[in-house]
């Protein structure tokens, strides 16, 4: 189920093109992030969302997910009141072209951590409700197979320049 329909591919390409205008530099030191959350064996930290101005349609949320347990857990789905649709995405480069795809689920290995960050995994927000101003709190509910629902309150910040899309 990893293949996209032609229409979805088209849509993803459009979304990606639109998002290029709002991509990230890598000089965001000491920026405000959402509070660290612990749920079962998982610790989620450094959450932030890409601030965007209307009429931007897409944004993305990033975070670190650490699993201190003896068993792996799996991120099954994401949702947010900040957008009509939320999906788990992965940015990648294919034939020298930066693109992204939706992934069905994301494993957090036992004793390991996974970074959602520009150029890699992210929570994609599609059809955002208006703008997402800097310092706005963007709540995202993550549903894990073992840890259940975890609400993360990412803090929006500007991420200008660069070429990573998200």
Q: Which residues bind Cu ion (CB under 5 A)?
A: 89, 100, 124
Of 100 and 155, nearer to Cu ion (C-beta) is 100
Q: Phi/psi of residue 162, each to 5°?
A: 75, -175
Of 39 and 99, nearer to Cu ion (C-beta) is 99
Of 78 and 100, nearer to Cu ion (C-beta) is 100
Nearest to 76 by CA among 100, 105, 42, 51: 105
Smallest gap from residue 10 Cβ to Cu ion (A):
15
Smallest gap from residue 16 Cβ to Cu ion (A):
7
Smallest gap from residue 126 Cβ to Cu ion (A):
8
Of 88 and 147, nearer to Cu ion (C-beta) is 88
Smallest gap from residue 70 Cβ to Cu ion (A):
32
Residues 144, 140, 127, 121: what is their CA dihedral angle, to the nearest 10 degrees?
-60
Smallest gap from residue 122 Cβ to Cu ion (A):
6
Of 41 and 50, nearer to Cu ion (C-beta) is 50
Residue with tokens 């994401």: 78
């Amino acid at each position: 189920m990893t293949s996209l329909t032609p229409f979805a591919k088209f849509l993803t390409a459009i979304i990606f093109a639109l998002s290029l205008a709002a991509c990230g530099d890598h000089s965001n030191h000491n920026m405000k992030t959402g509070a660290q959350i612990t749920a079962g064996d998982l610790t989620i930290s450094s959450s932030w969302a890409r601030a965007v101005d209307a009429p931007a349609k897409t944004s993305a949320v990033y975070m670190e997910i650490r699993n201190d347990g003896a068993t792996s857990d799996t991120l099954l789905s994401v949702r947010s009141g900040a957008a009509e649709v939320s999906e788990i995405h992965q940015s990648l480069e294919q034939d020298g072209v930066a693109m992204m795809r939706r992934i069905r689920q994301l494993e957090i290995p036992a004793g390991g951590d996974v970074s959602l960050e520009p150029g890699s995994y992210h929570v994609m927000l599609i059809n955002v409700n208006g703008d997402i101003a800097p310092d706005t709190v963007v709540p995202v509910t993550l549903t894990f197979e073992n840890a259940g629902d975890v609400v993360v309150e990412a803090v929006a910040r500007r991420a200008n320049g660069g070429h990573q899309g998200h």
